[in-house]
Copies of this chain bind each other. A is one copy, B any other.
Amino acid sequence: MRETLAEWRPAVDDAIDDLVPREIDAEYLESFFGEPTYEYDPEGIQRALSDPLWDLLDRGGKRWRAVLFLVFVEGFGHDPTEYLPYACIPEILHNGTIIVDDVEDEASIRRGEPALHHVYGQDVALNAGNAMYFLPLKILTENPAGLPAEQRLAAYEMLMYELNRTHLGQGMDICWHNEREVRITPEQYLEMCACKTGCLGRIVARLAAIITDQPSEVEEAVANYAELTSVAFQIGDDILDVENSLGRAGEFGKEFGNDVREGKKTLLVIDAIEESPPGRAERLQAILEADTNTDEEVLEALSIIEEAGSIDDARERALELAEQARAEIDGLDLDEETSEKLREFTRFVVDRDT
């Protein structure tokens, strides 16, 4: 999968450049946004849209959503180069959510550089992020692959379904974050992940299925695969944060026990509060609720999580989800090379520490 990512990346970036060029001129604006009633200002649109978008993209990112889309297309027996513009849809959507999430989370750093709202101002960054929710959706209207109306409509309806659920997931996450008490169930945490992270994965898979006209059971199977893999990825992320921090107790630093410091209600925290003896559960809750914590207090919280067996439980859950994801793929009639790529991808997102 690593090779596939590297192989496709230049072509993906070219396709994004066709959608939103690095250099905006009146000709592009007229062709993409339609004739102006009066007169466009290419200079302003350059700075409001193209500059922030390319700044973020040039900072890195593997474009894995675009490439996973192309892998699916190839797996369904079609030529991926014919569908390159569509690969931009999940990729640009994802980068838009990054910009908006960073404003919502008041993040200071993104991909090693100041978050976009610190570079361009909150107003420009937010508007660019929001524009990135709609720019790629217009590709379906432009219809570069000449899809019949039925498939275009199915794609729009799928996107509305998934983007609504994305905001539902983000809403739950934000709301829990602002609450002090940990009151949610593990199942609600998984739902949040399925919505917030999973829906963008589902868009990748379902879009590939829709535009290549797969039967609905295939679309459903690849959507489940993508959702399960995304949820496993999120749990893997939560585990990494706890394990990496425990692994270097003593050398405290900025990154030490980030999730606990932010009071995040991860699967591990929810599980530890359920499974710990009352006194320890209360202590964990108190540390999570506190506005600030010493490094020693953060370490104490991490130890409570570890002692409750919550790291092992979470890993077991992630492996179970990854297993289910692979089963969805095994049930399909894909060529062996594609199936192996997809299995490898699921392994990769869960075992990132190895």
Contact = CB atoms under 8 A, between A and B. Distances in A.
A134 B163 contact: yes
B167 A131 contact: yes
A219 B350 CA distance: 51
A133 interface: yes
Nearest to A139: B160
Nearest to A163: B134
B130 A167 contact: yes
Given A149-B150, A175-B47, A175-B124, A134 B164 contact: yes
A4 interface: no
A306 interface: no
Contacts of A191: 36-41
Contact of A123 (B124, B178, B192): B178
Contact of A41 (B133, B134, B184): B184
Question: Chain copies in the assembly?
Answer: 2
A247 interface: no
A213 interface: no
Contact of A45 (B38, B49, B171): B171
A126 interface: yes
A222 to B, nearest CB: 15
A34 interface: yes
A161 B133 contact: no
Interface stretch (A71-79, A99-107, A279-287, A334-342): A99-107
A121 B178 contact: yes
Given A126-B100, A178-B121, A160 B172 contact: no
A178 B48 CA distance: 10
Interface string A149-191: 1101100110011011101101110111110000011011011
A149 B153 CA distance: 7
A103 B125 CA distance: 11
A167 B37 contact: no
A281 B354 CA distance: 66
Main secondary structure of the interface of A (DSSP, over half): helix
A137 interface: yes
Contacts of A37: 190-191, 194, 198, 227
B104 A127 contact: yes
A7 B330 CA distance: 59
A261 to B, nearest CB: 17
A124 B160 CA distance: 20
Contact of A137 (B160, B172, B188): B160
A138 interface: yes
A124 to B, nearest CB: 6
21 contacts: A33-B164, A33-B165, A34-B161, A34-B165, A37-B198, A38-B188, A39-B191, A45-B168, A45-B171, A49-B168, A103-B103, A123-B177, A124-B175, A126-B126, A127-B167, A128-B171, A130-B130, A131-B168, A140-B157, A141-B157, A153-B153
Interface of A: 29, 32-34, 36-41, 44-45, 47-49, 100, 103-106, 121-124, 126-128, 130-131, 133-135, 137-138, 140-141, 149-150, 152-153, 156-157, 160-161, 163-165, 167-168, 170-172, 174-178, 184-185, 187-188, 190-192, 194, 198, 227
